[in-house]
A and B are shown apart, each in its own frame.
Chain A
Amino acid sequence: MVSVDVQGSSNALIQVRSLEKTYHRGSEELHVLQRLDLDVEAGDFVAFMGPSGSGKSTLLNLLGGLDTPTSGSIKVAGDEITRLSAGELTQWRARHVGFVFQMYNLIPVLTAYQNVELPLLLTSLSRSERRRHVEAAMALVGVADRMQHYPGQLSGGQGQRVGIARALVADPTFLLCDEPTGDLDRKSADEIMDLITRLSEEQGKTVLLVTHDPLAAQRAGAVLHLEKGVLVEAAIARTAG
């Protein structure tokens, strides 16, 4: 269950304590995140909403180990990631985080299969094991028949499915989805949200979603609103209590 404003330690999968991120623009200090506390349990599906500049993406970058906070701590499955070196953080990301981007960010010169295989190239899996994992991930997201297609030959929805397969293939601890439906029409957006919801509900994946789309956010178990770097409202919806 998602908890905000929590203190002390807990058994949550993701524990965020007193998290702050400040940018300096000349002499001006920009407090993007201010003393943020948050617990996310394994299997939670959490959506972050808020206006542009509210700190959603910054929070997602910090949770994904792409950026480092000004102060505070982030523990994921017991690892204090704010203390990791850049190299350690890279390895940590490969093991624990599956990124789903708004623009899919597929490599255009690789086939869908090769794109999904990319995270597995960092593992010690054999070629045949990698093939098994890639085929399973692509089947799970419904693009098994598009393996040899290049990103340019896929529709937006198919491209995002391949992006999700790439995020899933190495079986990460949690998925970070940054506006995954932002570039899609309504129908495709709904299909993608159906897929993400299914991954959460049926596969037990922990999902952190940043979105502007209220319909997408509705699918989450919990919706957290950020405003000027502060969690101002926690709407606990549907399954979460």
Chain B
Amino acid sequence: MKSLPLLLANLRRKKVRTTLTVGSFAVALFLYGILAVVRGAFSQGVDVAGVDRLVIINKVSLIQPLPVSYQERLRRIPGVKDVTYASWFGGVYQDERNFFPIFGIDMNTYRSVFPEFAISEDQWKAFLEDREGAVVGEGLVERFGWKLGDRIPIKGTIFPGTWEFNIRAIYKGAQLQTDVTQFWFRGDMLEERKPFQKGMVGWYTVRTTSPDESVSVAKAIDEMFSNSQWETKTETEKSFAASFVKQMGNIEFLILTIGGVVFFTLLLVTGNTMAIAVRERVRELAVLKAIGYSNSSVLFLVLMESLVIAALGGGAGLLLAKLFTLRGDPTGGLLPFFYLPPQAIISGLALALGIGAIAGITPAISAMRLRVVDALRRV
């Protein structure tokens, strides 16, 4: 890379302009990074959904319950390996800003259906032995400074009163994307103390014997409960998570639109900058060609300049986004999985370089096609 000094010197030529262009890339790629984090946070459930799990909800809506008696009937359907249920509790800890999901779970089956939540055997045993026991994700432990044995008061928003639980187990995520901000307590305790919806649960999750069975099992479940008082809607966990995300709006479309506008503007800004840079240097480029620099060398020089700007700015923006995410979820629990994955960093860099290449290619071609005699005549 013998032309590196010339390349670097050209970047230093108009420091303000280079800084502003690099800054444009940095801002755009920072935004890209944050959008990727938000997208990842919303689709986290979709990404980690088990391929062999089905979610069964009331056909009317998710908030309508289903009878607890369905569990045994579900278990008897061919292709069903395990059945568990959970109920949304809807409570807050100390303050309404402290939001996290709280479920009453079937402690006999929940663990086998959701093996991605890693809990030590002795802690799980302690949870089973305490009627007011709770299992909390390590994210909550970190956020609130909890420890095993702490007594946690939760103010019910659906079921009235203050409910107190003892932390008996702390779970970790088997995968990076596993949600570690959940709070579980025993479903039998909820059933005993809740003043209404007796004998009802929130939803069921079924584990099938094989992912290939999922479609037929889902069909069999919905047929079994059709024309009953509580008809069901069964979906794969992935599809359930995706439709759950869609309830919040078309996040993907929103992110793509914002990103598209930002990057198109960036393309125009960079393309214009590079075109001006080449126009200002016509004589110098002509001299380089006169003394023996080939067309491809000149093309390479201009294109590399654009790519270096893109790489510097893009890298800085993504680094800032990464640093920003290291501070954790800034929304107080709405986006528990606030993480910029390496794939997003790589695709962000590729995107920046792509824009740098597109922005630089036209000025680079015009530099390459420059006629030395004409260019040297220009003042």
Contact = CB atoms under 8 A, between A and B. Distances in A.
A99 B291 CA distance: 7
Contacts of A90: 289, 292-295
B212 interface: no
A159 to B, nearest CB: 13
Interface in A51-67: 61, 64, 66-67
Contacts of A94: 291-292
Listed residue (A66, A67, A95) with the most chain B CB atoms within 10 angstroms of its CB? A66
Interface string B276-296: 000000011001111111110
Interface string B1-27: 011011001101100000000000000
Given A67-B373, A121-B3, A91 B9 contact: no
A166 B295 CA distance: 20
Contacts of A99: 287, 290-291
Interface range for A: 20 to 34
B376 interface: yes
Nearest to A150: B9
Interface string A94-131: 11000101010101111000100011011000000000
Contacts of A122: 291-293
B31 interface: no
Interface majority SS on A: helix, strand, loop or mixed?
Answer: helix
Interface residues of B, number: 22
B6 A110 contact: yes
Task: Say what secondary structure dominates the interface of chain B.
Answer: helix
B269 interface: no
A107 B10 CA distance: 10
Interface in A71-108: 86-87, 90-91, 93-95, 99, 101, 103, 105, 107-108
B285 to A, nearest CB: 10
A93 B287 CA distance: 12
Contact of A101 (B6, B10, B287, B373): B287
B372 interface: yes
Contacts of B9: 107, 109-110, 114
B6 A107 contact: yes
A197 B3 CA distance: 33
Given A101-B287, A114-B5, A66 B373 contact: yes
A118 B288 CA distance: 8
Nearest to B296: A87
Contacts of B13: 108-109
A101 B6 CA distance: 20
Given A105-B283, A110-B6, A91 B292 contact: yes
A93 B294 CA distance: 10
A87 to B, nearest CB: 6
Contacts of B12: 109
A105 B287 contact: yes
A204 B151 CA distance: 98
Contacts of A166: 291
Contacts of B288: 118
A35 to B, nearest CB: 21
Given A87-B295, A105-B284, A109-B12, A121 B2 contact: yes
Contacts of B2: 121
Given A87-B294, A90-B292, A90-B293, A107 B284 contact: yes
Report which residue of B6, B284, B290 has the largest number of chain A beta carbons within 10 angstroms of its beta carbon: B290
Contacts of B289: 90
A61, A86, A103, A118: residue with the most chain B Cβ atoms closer than 10 Å: A118
A109 to B, nearest CB: 4
A133 to B, nearest CB: 14
5 contacts: A94-B291, A118-B6, A118-B288, A121-B3, A122-B291
Interface of B: 2-3, 5-6, 9-10, 12-13, 283-284, 287-295, 372-373, 376
Given A90-B293, A107-B284, A121-B3, 15 more contacts: A64-B290, A66-B376, A86-B295, A90-B289, A90-B292, A91-B294, A99-B287, A101-B287, A107-B6, A108-B13, A109-B13, A118-B288, A121-B2, A122-B292, A122-B293
